[in-house]
Amino acid sequence: MSSTNNGEVLILLADRLQGLQQELRTIRSEGVKSNPATADPTALGLFGFALTTALLQGPFTTLTEPTSSQIAMGFGFFFGGLAQFCAGLLNYQRRNTFGCVAFCCFGAFWMSIAIYETLVFGKVYAPVPNEGKQLMLAMWGILTFLLWLCTFKLTIATSAVFLTLSLLFFFLAGGVGTSQSARNFTKFAGAWGFLVAAIAFYDGIAALLKDAYGRSILPVGPLSKPAPAPVQVGSLLPGSASPSPPGTGKFSDGKLSMSMVV
């Protein structure tokens, strides 16, 4: 008698679980219809950051004239600034907190730098003393380091962007000044900045290719192991049995076949 009751309980549980799974699938499908997916803005943000960063390294490394930094400021307003900030807002819509914070921060950074340089060039106010520039760069280095701490569950490429960028800010802070050692430090920082831009370009094109072709083309190297697959309900029951469709009142496997008598 007890074995029959236990069997009926298992049947009812399996039937109810199947019904709940069907309800969850319905809720998820309705949620997708009401909230259509938006385009992935990752590549846009990374390209805006990488190109503007690379342009600014020309005068730092003396590959270009010092006045060539003016074109970098132009890109800082729009491609590195506004476009990157918009990428952050789109990540907000996609509920990607890290992408939203990172892209909005650096988009605002580039727009702030561009506005500052424009006002100084127009002689609206005098340039900030070297100590102020060093403090600003060091603070951004600290902020970037804190963002890097949040990348350990992302990819190696993304983590490398933030780690090298954090170091770049500290290198630039050390290069502020007019002494020979400061100029040498700035030149080294410029070369390091090209490395940062190259990694960001790679990460951006990897994201764009993955979105275009539906699979990973360029390896970016996940830092964390993938989460284990969820355990199916049927595998928890004896003999790895599978529950029948809801409403059938049956539960069967290779050794057991029972039907509820209604």
- pLDDT tens-digit profile of 124-178? 888 889 999 999 999 999 999 999 999 999 999 999 999 999 999 999 999 998 8
Task: Decide if 180 contacts 116 (C-beta within 8 A).
Answer: no
The more confident residue out of 225 and 15 is 15
Comparison of pLDDT for 245 and 40, the residue scoring more: 40
Q: What is the pLDDT of residue 5?
A: 65
Higher model confidence: residue 233 or residue 221? 221
Average pLDDT score over residue span 63-92: 92
Most confident stretch, 116-120, 236-240, 245-249: 116-120
| Residue of 170, 212, 203, 213 lying closest to 102 (CA atoms) | 203
Using a pLDDT cut of 70, give the percent of the chain over it: 77
pTM above the 0.85 mark? no
pLDDT at 194: 97
Q: Is the pLDDT of residue 92 over 90?
A: yes
- pLDDT for residue 248: 45
How far apart, in Å, are the Cα atoms of 93 and each of 28, 46, 105, 211? 18, 18, 16, 18
Q: From residue 34, how far is each of 22, 28, 31, 144, 162 by CA, in Å?
A: 19, 10, 5, 36, 35
pLDDT per residue as tens digits for the range 38-47: 889 999 999 9
User: Taking Cα atoms as reference points, which of 117, 99, 110 lies closest to residue 51?
Assistant: 110
Specify the pLDDT at position 177. Answer: 86
207/27: higher pLDDT? 207
For 110-145, b where at least 16 C-beta lie within 10 A, e where not — what string?
bbebbebbeeeeeeeeeeeeeeebbebbbebbebbb
- Exposed / middle / buried, residue 257 (Cβ in 10 Å: 0-12, 13-18, 19+): exposed
Q: Rounded to whole angstroms, how far apart are CA atoms 206 and 219?
A: 7
Can you read off the two tokens belonging to residue 109? 């950074």
Indicate the pLDDT class of residue 195, thresholds 50, 70 and 90.
very high
pLDDT on residue 221: 85
pLDDT of amino acid 258:
33
Alpha-carbon distances, residue 250 vs 12, 144, 256 (angstroms): 9, 58, 10
Pair of tokens at residue 193: 């900045």
Confidence of residue 7 (pLDDT cuts 50, 70, 90): low
The domain limits of the chain are: 42-213
Please calculate the CA angle 185-84-122 and round it to the nearest 5 degrees: 65
Task: Of 33-42, 173-182, 228-237, give the lowest mean pLDDT range.
Answer: 228-237
Region of residue 216 (phi > 0: left; psi between -120 and 50: alpha; otherwise: beta): beta
Contact between 87 and 44 (Cβ < 8 Å): yes
Please give the Cα distance from 143 to 61 (Å, whole number).
Answer: 25
Tokens of 213: 């072709």
Instruction: For the chain, give the number of residues.
Output: 262
Task: Answer for the pair 74, 114: CB distance below 8 angstroms, yes or no.
Answer: yes
On average, the pLDDT of the chain sits at 82
Query: What pLDDT is attached to residue 225?
Result: 65
Query: Tokens 């199916």 map to which residue?
Result: 232
Provide the pLDDT confidence category of residue 2 given band limits of 50, 70 and 90: low
Amino acid letter for position 226: P
Q: Quick one: average pLDDT of 29-35?
A: 51
